[in-house]
Amino acid sequence: MTIEQPQTSIKKVLIANRGEIAVRVIRACRDLGIDTVAVYSDADRSSLHVRYATEAVHIGGPSPRDSYLKMDAILEAARRTGADAIHPAYGFLAEREDFAQAVLDEGLIFIGPPPSAIAAMGDKQAARETVMRAGVPVIPGTEHGLRDDEILAAAEHIGFPLMVKAAAGGGGKGMRAVRSLAELPDALASARREAESAFGDGTVYLEKMIEGARHIEIQVLADTHGNTIHLGERECSIQRRHQKLLEEAPSTFVDVDLRQRMGEMAIRAAEAVGYVNAGTVECLVDKDKNFYFMEMNTRLQVEHPVTELISGVDLVKEQIRIARGRRMGPTESLIQPKGWAIECRINAEDPYNNFIPSVGTISTLILPSGPGVRVDSGVYGGYTITPYYDSLIAKLICWGDDRPEAMLRMRSALEEVTIMGVKHNIPFHLNLLGSFSFIAGRVDTNFVEERFSMTTYETAAQDIEIETAAIAATLYAHRQRQLAGQVVNRNERDTSNWKWLSRWERVHR
**Measured distance CA(434)–CA(408) in Å, rounded:** 10
H or E element: which one contains 89? none
Strand arrangement, sheet containing 109-110: 55-60, 35-41, 12-15, 85-87, 109-110
> How is residue 80 annotated by DSSP?
H
Catalytic one of 240, 299, 324, 411: 299
Please give the radius of gyration of the chain, using alpha carbons only, rounded to the nearest integer. Answer: 23
36: amino acid identity, one letter: T
Q: Is 374 a catalytic residue?
A: no
DSSP 439: H
Nearest to 386 by CA among 34, 40, 33, 25: 40
Return d(Cα 195, Cα 204) in angstroms, integer: 8
Question: Going by C-beta distance under 8 Å and a sequence separation of 6 or more, which residues neighbour residue 305?
Answer: 341, 343, 374, 376, 395, 397
Sign of CA dihedral 391, 193, 198, 163: positive
DSSP 317-377: HHHHHHHTTPPPS--TTT----SEEEEEEEESEETTTTTEE--EE--EEE---STTEEEEE
Residue 159 vs residues 154, 289, 465: alpha-carbon distances, Å: 9, 21, 36
Helix boundaries (H) for 400-496: 403-416, 426-433, 436-440, 447-451, 464-482
Q: In three state form, how does the secondary structure of 245-278 look?
A: EEEEECCCCCCHHHHHHHHHHHHHHHHHCCCCEE
Taking phi first (over 0 means left), then psi (-120 to 50 degrees means alpha), and beta for anything else, what does residue 382 get? left
Give the C-alpha distances (Å, rounded to integers) separating 259 from 50, 218, 235: 40, 9, 12
Nearest to 422, CA basis, from 387, 449, 374, 388: 387
Closest Cα partner for 342 from 400, 392, 284? Answer: 400
Is there a contact between 214 and 444 (Cβ–Cβ < 8 Å)? yes
Query: What DSSP line would sit under 120-138, residue for residue?
Result: HHHBHHHHHHHHHHTT--B
- For residue 493, the SS3 value is coil
Alpha-carbon gap, residue 117 to 119, rounded angstroms: 5
3-state secondary structure of 78: helix
Q: Are 53 and 410 in contact (CB under 8 A)?
A: no
Active site residues: 299
